[in-house]
């Protein structure tokens, strides 16, 4: 049974949420994990343009300050977004674009107290392959920047996700800490087809062939042909940024299949860096129904719960999931629309109509990534204890 430390959402004089985050990090005894001079990656998500409930930069700054206090060298890390669409969706497809989004959302070296590093380079293609024995995947594409990290603190905004059910520590690794080809393999089910209609035709511009990093696309009689033995499913050929008429169309994975694949990616990330070189902090705050990669933030579905910390990604996600399900739904939110208001109701399964939330935890446990059995240990500041006595 894994230990999960929990600090509730209540705050008062002498015990704000940053104070509680400090206590949680003390409970983890990170000084036993981080040696002086270690490069410590702090993995988070900067949100997309249009999100307003992404994880606030002040929390990341507190983690940065703790790493410095322990003698480590903190760097805030991310990878390029999928970039399959144009407009808002495509901005995060490159390192420069994502850094611009990060700055707009409040994440800068100045606000964080540490440099920001996009681990997989400008195009998300600066990677190496690492072989695994997953349920679906035999290799994972890892960002080259991961080679320089000694220890990783995974700071996750816990919220819903239309494919995975929820996004927490596991998804922050399995999609957020892999290079673009591994992101593609989560979402694309092995085929990209040319689909024309009377109104929309391939122009034969050959831009898809020009941008393909592995030369899997060739032009035959003015039309693109994809060699799937070479294809790494990076998504450039059918991106709106490249194929303006959008005639190249991927076959998307199901929610279940995509979930199993991203957990395989988690297995690869943790296997490479080492299970003992991770700590996980989940912020069960602003629990929106959709991921921060969406260009909006909907009404939260439950009241804020608090912050959890553990060395077990499965346990910390299961505890976060349980807190959400045990909470009452918020009137006017997706929880009310989907009849998920009562405490004890599986909020994410109701909202999305599938059980990927349960599936990702089951698959991760079977791969040996952690345990769904956990002991929740409340961390209460002394000032809060005194206030509780008075009231």
Per-residue model confidence as pLDDT tens digits over 68-90: 999 999 999 999 987 655 555 66
Helix (H, G, I), strand (E, B) or coil at 151: strand
pLDDT tens digits, 164-190: 999 999 999 999 999 999 999 999 888
Distances (CA, A) of 363 to 3, 95, 210, 347: 20, 31, 38, 20
> Residue 235 sits in a domain of what CATH number?
3.30.70.20
What pLDDT sits at residue 84? 58
How would you label 117-151 residue by residue, b for 16+ Cβ within 10 Å and e otherwise? bbbbbebbbbbeebebebebbebbbbbebbeebbb
What pLDDT sits at residue 390? 82
Question: Of 252, 279, 305, which one is at a domain's C-terminal end?
Answer: 252
**Number of structural domains found in the chain:** 2
What pLDDT sits at residue 246? 86
What pLDDT sits at residue 83? 62
Q: Which of 334, 325, 323 is nearest to 297 (CA)?
A: 334
| Torsion sign over Cα 112, 118, 122, 124 | negative
- What are the residues whose beta carbons fall under 8 Å from the beta carbon of 59, sequence distance 6 or more? 17, 18, 21, 155, 283
Do 197 and 343 lie in a common domain? no
Do 142 and 258 lie in a common domain? yes
Do 224 and 302 lie in a common domain? no
Helix (H, G, I), strand (E, B) or coil at 132: coil
Do 83 and 204 lie in a common domain? no
What pLDDT sits at residue 337? 97
Do 38 and 165 lie in a common domain? yes
Which structural domain range is residue 201 located in?
190-252
Q: Which of 246, 274, 44, 70 is nearest to 153 (CA)?
A: 44
What pLDDT sits at residue 238? 85
What pLDDT sits at residue 213? 87
pLDDT < 50 regions, the chain: none
Start-to-end Cα distance in the chain: 34
What pLDDT sits at residue 85? 55
Do 244 and 126 lie in a common domain? no
- What are the residues whose beta carbons fall under 8 Å from the beta carbon of 61, sequence distance 6 or more? 111, 112, 113
- What are the residues whose beta carbons fall under 8 Å from the beta carbon of 70, sequence distance 6 or more? 30, 31, 34, 36
How far, in whole angstroms, is CA 143 from its chain's centroid? 15
Do 69 and 104 lie in a common domain? yes
pTM: 0.95
Do 56 and 85 lie in a common domain? yes
């Amino acid at each position: 049974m894994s230990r999960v430390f929990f600090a509730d959402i209540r705050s008062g004089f002498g015990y704000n949420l940053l104070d509680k985050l400090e206590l949680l990090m003390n409970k983890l005894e990170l000084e036993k994990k981080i040696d002086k001079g270690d490069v410590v990656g702090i993995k988070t998500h900067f949100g997309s343009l249009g999100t307003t409930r992404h994880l606030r930069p002040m929390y990341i700054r507190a983690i940065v300050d703790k790493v410095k206090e322990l003698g480590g060298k903190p760097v805030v890390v991310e990878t390029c977004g999928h970039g399959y669409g144009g407009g808002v969706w495509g901005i995060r497809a490159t390192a420069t674009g994502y850094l611009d989004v990060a700055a707009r959302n409040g994440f800068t070296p100045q606000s964080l107290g540490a440099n920001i590093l996009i681990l997989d380079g400008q195009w998300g293609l600066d990677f190496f392959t690492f072989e695994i024995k997953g349920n679906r995947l035999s290799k994972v594409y890892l960002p080259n920047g991961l080679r320089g990290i000694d220890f990783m603190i995974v700071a996750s905004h816990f919220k819903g996700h239309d494919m995975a059910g929820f996004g927490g520590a596991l998804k922050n690794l399995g999609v957020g800490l892999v290079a673009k080809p591994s992101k593609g393999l989560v979402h694309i089910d092995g085929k990209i087809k040319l689909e024309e209609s009377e109104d929309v035709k391939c122009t034969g511009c050959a831009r898809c062939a020009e941008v393909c990093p592995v030369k899997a696309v060739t032009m035959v009689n003015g039309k693109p042909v994809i060699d799937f033995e070479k294809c790494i499913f990076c998504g450039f050929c059918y991106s709106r940024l490249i194929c303006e008429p959008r005639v190249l169309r991927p076959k998307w994975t199901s929610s279940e299949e995509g979930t199993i694949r991203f957990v395989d990616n988690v297995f690869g990330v943790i296997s490479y860096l080492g299970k003992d070189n991770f700590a996980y902090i989940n912020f069960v705050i602003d629990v929106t129904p959709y991921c921060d990669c969406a260009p909006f933030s909907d009404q939260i579905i439950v009241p804020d719960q608090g912050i959890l910390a553990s060395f077990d990604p499965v346990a910390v996600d299961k505890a976060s999931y349980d807190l959400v399900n045990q909470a009452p739904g918020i009137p006017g939110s997706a929880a009310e629309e989907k009849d998920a208001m009562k405490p004890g109701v599986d909020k994410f399964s109701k909202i999305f109509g599938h059980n990927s939330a349960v599936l990702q935890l089951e698959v991760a446990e079977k791969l040996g990534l952690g345990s769904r059995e956990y002991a929740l240990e409340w961390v209460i500041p002394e000032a809060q204890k005194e206030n509780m006595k008075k009231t």
